[in-house]
Structure 1
Amino acid sequence: MLLAFSVAPSGTGRADGSVHDAVAAAVQVVRESGLPNRTDAMFTTIEGEWDEVFAVVKRATDAVAPFGSRISLVMKADIRPGFTGELDGKLERMEAAIDGERGDAGVRDD
């Protein structure tokens, strides 16, 4: 399973609305989990089995709780039993497809 999620507090009382400290606390939980993960500007994606992934999301959400009076949690999952390594595999297949399209256009370097 791949699960992309975004968790952030609201009601922080900060005039600038910044939530980077809370997000950092959540990402630290994810990194300490030992599960394959990747964080970008909008989401953190975790790879693993259902129960272990959701346990990490719960701990990450709990880590954000002290930073505000409410929490927003957004999740998107790709549940594909029997597949592992998809955190990188999906990107590798996409890049290969892009390279293949370039090859069809006469731009090959192999």
Structure 2
Amino acid sequence: MIVAFSVAPSGSDPDGGVSEAVADAVRIVRESGLPNRTDSMFTTLEGEWDEVMDVVKRATEAVGRHGNRVSLVLKADIRPGRTGEMQGKLDRLEAALDQQP
């Protein structure tokens, strides 16, 4: 399964800065050992249901320590028996783009 999620505190910093809270969440993802990628909008990770959801939960709890409210957006691609799909999906897209005139 692939999960893309975004987690941020709300109600904590009057200037709207969330970098430290998000860094705490991303640190948990990276330390999980699961394949992952972070961009400006989402963190994506791949693994089995229980291990992925555990990481999302721990990342959300870490962000929660920075304020009294947390926003979590999550999207999942659930394909039992498939692995390596974070890169595999991109490889298939690039191949399709290469075939177009």
Name the TM-score, length of structure 2 as normaliser.
Answer: 0.97
Q: Secondary structure at the match of 1:67?
A: coil
What's the counterpart of residue 19 of structure 2?
A: 20
What's the counterpart of residue 2 of structure 1?
A: 2
In the alignment, structure 2 segments of 5+ residues that lack a partner are: none
CA distance in structure 2 between the aligned counterparts of 1:82 and 1:55, rounded to whole angstroms: 19
Q: Secondary structure at the match of 1:22?
A: helix
> Which stretches of structure 1, 4 residues or more, deviate above 4 A after TM superposition?
none
Amino acid at match of 2:78: I
CA RMSD of aligned residues (A): 0.7
CA distance in structure 2 between the aligned counterparts of 1:66 and 1:21, rounded to whole angstroms: 11
Q: Report the CA distance between 1:98 and its aligned residue.
A: 0.6
What's the counterpart of residue 59 of structure 1?
A: 58
What's the counterpart of residue 87 of structure 1?
A: 86
In the alignment, structure 1 segments of 5+ residues that lack a partner are: 106-110
Name the TM-score, length of structure 1 as normaliser.
Answer: 0.89
CA distance in structure 1 between the aligned counterparts of 2:89 and 2:17, rounded to whole angstroms: 32
Q: Secondary structure at the match of 2:65?
A: helix
Amino acid at match of 1:2: I
Amino acid at match of 1:24: A
Once the two structures are superposed, residues 8-66 of structure 1 have per-residue CA deviations (whole angstroms, 9 ceiling, x without a partner) of 00011x23201011000000000000000000100001100000000000110111111
Q: Percent identity?
A: 69
- How many residues align? The count is 101
